[in-house]
A and B are shown apart, each in its own frame.
Chain A
Amino acid sequence: MIPRYQKILFAILLLASLGMGFKLWQLRERAHRSLLTGEASAPTAAPVVAPAEQATLVVANDMDNSLVPQVHSLPLPADPGSRARAVLGKLLDLYAAPDSTHPVPGGAQSVAQVFLMPLPGAKSTDGSDNQLAVVNLSGTFAASHPSGLETESLTVLSICATLRANLPSIGEVRFLVDGQQRPTLAGHADLTRTYLTSQATPTEGTRQ
């Protein structure tokens, strides 16, 4: 015979478990909705109201394996993360153009986010805190990227060099694809390592 107080205690615990489960489910749904809202409100293109500024894009060329700086005028937001995303979006728009020297489909939508994080103890050349940029690329971009040592490396290096040209405080770059780490971009370029922007410098063609 189970005592009455144990039955009451069991009923209370059961109700509390169900209530907490329901509350947890509610919180999960709320977090999911807020995440979706945040993604939808993230700027997919540089705001038109931002003033146009000169940005240096380091453009790759498959024919001579070169990285050539080009100056373009485009509206750039003040926030460094959004600024980095806008610059990279323009770079990938150039690559998606029909007459591109480094044809890669996808365009500006291929850069989902750029996160900037301070690197502890590191200072950039202008004395400001050095930063790590985490570039989150879309899975579609990676899936449609041409495969090859040269073309993949040029994409990675041109992104690093463009970030350095416009945001000198960025000293290191890491890549994610759909928020996850991925071994390679399209079978060749290593995406597991941290790239130093100081090593991704514009180069003249080396065709012989």
Chain B
Amino acid sequence: MSRISKTQVPRVSQRVRSMLRSPRIRVPRVSALTAVLNDASLSLGRWRAGRYLSVLATVGLALLTVPDHAQLSPSPEAPPAPRFVVVLDAAHGGDDTGSHLDSGQLEKSVNLTLSVRLRSLLAARGIQAITTREADTSVSLDQRATIANHASAALCLSLHASETGSGIHLFASSLPPALPTRFMAWKTAQAAWVTRSLGLAGAVNSALAHAGFSVTLGRIPLPGVESMTCPALAVEVGPQRDSDHKITTEPDNPEYQASVATALAAAVVEWRSDPTRTEARQP
């Protein structure tokens, strides 16, 4: 039987502690522990044994209080799927009324209605949607971008309505694509997501075209959207016109809005199922 010197006592304590911490030792650790302690108590004098009995008491208490690592250690399984959050940005609001539609409605109200409608449709499809405003309140462009960025949004749709043009107008930022960096300029953060935004525009365009809407695509400067660190689009709902360019349906028509919202929700679902969607999700 080997004797344990005074200088070895701390080492024994360290062994005990390391055994307790080791997640790999499960059931055998108690017997190993006992063996070590027996060994220690037999080798040392009585006062030393008393000291180790106090250690044993501490260990016993620790065994009762420390949860079993075997039960806590997770079984090897797939990591949880990343959250899929959609940010819906009803443009304008408060003092900023947006355009005045021929029907007498203000653009800010039409945008808010479409935002609420689309959020409900997305919720029904199991997709979490965050809105930048829920009422007729002023929200600055920077605040809108901040909401989208804090939500780690999978995509953002900035909703507009207009009396000009025809059908749905989709706009992505005109910023030139840039490589993502750890720190990005606030005003041009969207540059790292422009390519993904164009992909999103393709998905939304196909869903809207499939629903029978005429769609125009473009790239323009988009203040606010250009500070967002997610795929982002501006969707402007224009009136529907006949072949003579006469307006047949106003942008605030409830049925028209419902159809547009349904098509946009379908586009979001399609985008979520896109296998290449997450590849450039984070820089």
Contacts and interface: CB of A to CB of B under 8 A. Distances in A.
Interface string B5-46: 000000000000000000000000000000000000000000
A158 to B, nearest CB: 12
Interface string A155-171: 00100000000000000
B238 A148 contact: yes
Contact of B216 (A65, A188, A199): A65
Nearest to A148: B162
Interface stretch (A70-78, A110-118, A200-208): A200-208
A207 B214 contact: yes
Contacts of A187: 92, 96-99, 107
Nearest to A104: B164
A148 B165 contact: yes
Residue of B97, B99, B238, B241 contacting most chain A CB atoms (<10 Å): B99
B200 to A, nearest CB: 16
Given A62-B165, A65-B165, A187-B96, A148 B215 contact: no
Contacts of A148: 99, 160, 162-165, 236, 238
B223 A208 contact: no
A207 to B, nearest CB: 5
A190 B164 CA distance: 18
A146 B164 contact: yes
B221 A190 contact: yes
Contacts of A63: 165-166, 241, 245
A203 B163 CA distance: 22
B39 to A, nearest CB: 78
Contacts of A64: 216
A195 B107 CA distance: 27
B100 A147 contact: yes
Interface residues on B, range: 20 to 34
A contact patch SS: loop
Nearest to B220: A153
B217 interface: yes
A149 B162 contact: yes
Residue of B100, B205, B220 contacting most chain A CB atoms (<10 Å): B220
Contacts of A203: 218
A148 B98 CA distance: 8
A208 B214 contact: yes
A164 to B, nearest CB: 16
Nearest to B162: A148
13 contacts: A65-B217, A146-B164, A147-B99, A147-B163, A148-B165, A149-B171, A149-B234, A150-B164, A150-B169, A157-B220, A187-B98, A189-B220, A207-B214
Given A63-B245, A148-B99, A149-B220, 20 more contacts: A62-B166, A63-B166, A146-B99, A147-B107, A147-B162, A149-B169, A150-B165, A150-B169, A150-B171, A157-B220, A187-B97, A187-B98, A187-B99, A187-B107, A188-B160, A206-B217, A207-B216, A208-B205, A208-B209, A208-B215
Interface of B: 92, 96-100, 107, 160, 162-167, 169, 171, 174, 205, 209, 214-218, 220-221, 223, 234, 236, 238, 241, 245
The 4 A-B pairs with the shortest beta carbon distances in the complex, nearest first, are A148-B162, A147-B99, A65-B216, A151-B164
